[in-house]
Structures are given as C-alpha cells and as structure tokens.
Amino acid sequence: MMNFFHAFRRNKGGLVGLVVIGLVILLALIASWIYPDSPWDTINAPYLPPMEEGALLGTDTLGRDIASGIAHGARITLMLAAVSTAVSVIVGITLGAIAGFYGGKVDQVVGGVIELFQTIPSFFLAVVLVAILTPSIGTVISAIALVSWPPLARLVRAEFMSMKHREFVQAAMLSGQSNARIILTQILPNSLSPVIVSGSLMVASAILLESALSFLGLGDPNAMTWGYIIGASRSVLRDAWWMSVFPGVAILITVLALNLIGEALNDALNPKLARKRSH
C-alpha cells in the first residue's frame, strides 16, 4: 500500500488532478453556503458580463447568476457521474465475473448482451432512453449506467478468464472453497487494478455524457447542471460568450483532472509498464 502511494505521488499530473477534483468537490459542498439563493432565481439584470454588479462570472439571458449555477451544478453533475459510475461498475463486475468464471453458456449469453450494447452508439441509446422514460435524475443515471457497463464487463470477463486458470485459483478449487468465495476472495482482489483505472475514467465520461444530455435539454428539468447552462445559452454564444464558456471550462478541467488521475492510477498500479514508458 505504501508503495502504491509512493508511486502515485511520483506522478505530477495525478497530483494536479487530485487537487483539482478536490477543489471541485469542495465547491459542490459549499455551494449553498456561498450562493444561498437558488441558482434558478433571477437575482440580477440579464446579459451582465463577468465582474459587473457583483456577478463574478456574469448572468445569463434571464438574469441568473452563472457562478451560482456552476457551483450548484457541480453538485448535481458530480453526484450523477458518481452514482451512475457506481451502478455500472457493480453491474459490469458482476456480469463480467460470472461470464468469465463460469464460461460456456453463461458466457455466451452475457457476451452476446455485451456485444449487442457495443453495436449501438452509446450516446444515441442514452438519448433515446431518456427521451422515452421522461427526463429526471433517476432516468439520466440509469441511462448513463446502462450504456457504460459493457466495456467494463468485457474487461472483468477477460481478467477472470485468465485468472481462472492460474494455479492458485485451481488450488482454491481443490481445497473445496465455494465458487462465490473463490470469485470474491481469490480472483476479484487480483483483478481490481484495471477496474479501478477504468472506473476513474468512467466518471469522466459520465460527466461528458450527462452534460451532453443536459445540453440537448434531456436533463432533469429541475436540476441545474453545467450542460444545461451551456445548452440554455447556446443561441446567444456570439453576444454573450461567458454564459457558455465558464461552464464549458468547468467541464473541461474536471474531465481533464479525472483523466490525469486515471493515468496516475494506471502507472501506480502497473509499475512495470510505467517504468518502461518513462524510458
């Protein structure tokens, strides 16, 4: 474990990413303290450019404060991304583990489902799902989770297929341990590294997916998200750049930070690969 932290610390990008994500989470936590009013309230004149009349990042077409929207949006966006990733990780690991461990017919069924999902462009599937199920936080989460689990399940499946034939797993079978026990205590802990790495990258892509849905007006109508702010002001992009640019920057640096963390995790968990790359 100490080695892991040591290796992680050596990666500057990972540290920067961690700090940025920490700041975004902090912003989300203190949003209602620094901006007690609802982000939907018109508290100022519309079309105010940044730094005027107390509006740090300006106001939008209806006079809502952009900075307040970004702070409150951080909450929803991070929550949505975290929950949907958690759901898809659980689904992906479970199905991937079962398919990889048992093989045969079970594997054919799960593999077929995974391939089915991978032939459909995931973003359009998410759009269609949310449109049919009427947009709400719940449906957005399920749509994102539903389109993101297949790649993870594939990864876990492959790990399990190779681990299953390792001698220590066979030794566990011979010592009479139950299949569930072998999956949970023997194989899973040894195949978590790639799951952790791809999990951190999945949070990033969930943020992008959620923002894109909100941009199209398919987010929860009661939730202020970064994507919604950009979507609402896209028609006045040339007259009032600040309305789209600031939430856009928020998305950019958050996703970038998560990618940096993912990369650092990868290096720390696969030290051999990382050392090779640095040569």
Partner 1 sequence: MTVLLEIRDLVVSVVQDGPDMPVVKGISYTVNKNEILCVVGESGSGKSVTAHALMGLLPEGELRISSGEIRYRDRNLAELTPKEWTNLRGKSFGMVFQEPMTALNPIMRIGRQVDEVLERHTDLDASARRARVLELFRDVLLPDPERLIDSYPFQLSGGQRQRVVIAMALALEPDILIADEPTTALDVTTQAQILTLIKDIQSRMGIGVIFITHDFGVVAEIADRIVVMRHGEVVELGTADDVLNRPSHPYTRKLIASVPHLPEGKAVAAPTQPLMVVSKLMKTFGLDGGRRVVALNDISLNIEQGETLGLVGESGSGKSTLGRTLIGLIHPDSGSVRIEGQELVGLSSRDWRQHRKQIQMVFQDPYASLNPRHKIVEAVAQGPIAFGENRAKALKDARDLLELVGLGGDSGDRYPHQFSGGQRQRVGIARALALKPRLLIADEAVSALDVSIQAQVLDLLKQISGQFDLSVLFITHDLRVAAQICDRIAVMRQGELVELARASDVFYRPQHEYTRRLIDSIPGKQWSKPDFAEDVLVQEI
Footprint on this chain of partner 1 (rule: CB under 8 A): 166-168, 170-178, 181, 185-186, 189-190, 279
Task: Please say which residue, 49 or 194, places its beta carbon nearer to partner 1.
Answer: 194
* Of 165, 150, 143, 167, nearest in space to 220 by CA: 143
How far is the C-alpha of 270 from the C-alpha of 273, rounded, in Å? 6
Residue 175 beta carbon to partner 1: minimum distance, rounded to whole angstroms: 3
Which two three-digit tokens encode residue 261? Answer: 């963390």
Q: How far is the CB of 184 from partner 1 (least distance, A)?
A: 12
The nearest distance, CB 196 to partner 1, in angstroms, is 14
Quote the least distance from Cβ 102 to partner 1, whole Å.
12
CB atoms within 10 A of CB 239: 10
Q: What does the alpha-carbon distance between residue 130 and residue 256 come to, in Å, rounded to a whole number?
A: 26
If the CB atoms of residues 61 and 190 are measured against partner 1, the closer one turns out to be 190
Please, which residue, 89 or 172, has the CB nearer to partner 1? 172
Instruction: Pick between residue 12 and residue 166 the one whose CB is nearest to partner 1.
Output: 166
CA–CA distance, 12 with 15 (Å, rounded to integer): 5
Least distance in angstroms from the C-beta of 188 to partner 1:
10
CB of 234 to partner 1, least distance (A): 50
Compare residues 119 and 175 and give the one whose CB is closer to partner 1: 175
- Nearer to partner 1 by Cβ, of 42 and 178: the residue is 178
Q: Residue 170 or 222: which CB sits closer to partner 1?
A: 170
C-alpha–C-alpha distance, residues 84 and 151, integer Å: 14
C-alpha closest to that of 151 among 117, 128, 183, 174: 117
When the beta carbons of 12 and 181 are compared against partner 1, the nearer one is 181
Q: At what angle do helices 122-133 and 137-164 cross, to 10 degrees?
A: 140
Task: Report the alpha-carbon angle 243-240-60, nearest 5.
Answer: 45
Smallest separation (angstroms) from partner 1 to the CB of 171: 6
> Minimum CB separation from partner 1 for residue 152, in Å?
21
What are the Cα distances from residue 112, in Å, to 71, 90, 240?
42, 19, 48
**CA quadruple 200, 204, 209, 215: dihedral sign:** positive
Do 73 and 155 meet the contact criterion of CB atoms below 8 Å apart? no
Distant-in-sequence, close-in-space partners of 277: CB < 8 Å, separation ≥ 6: 267
Q: Quick count: other Cβ atoms within 10 Å of Cβ 106?
A: 14
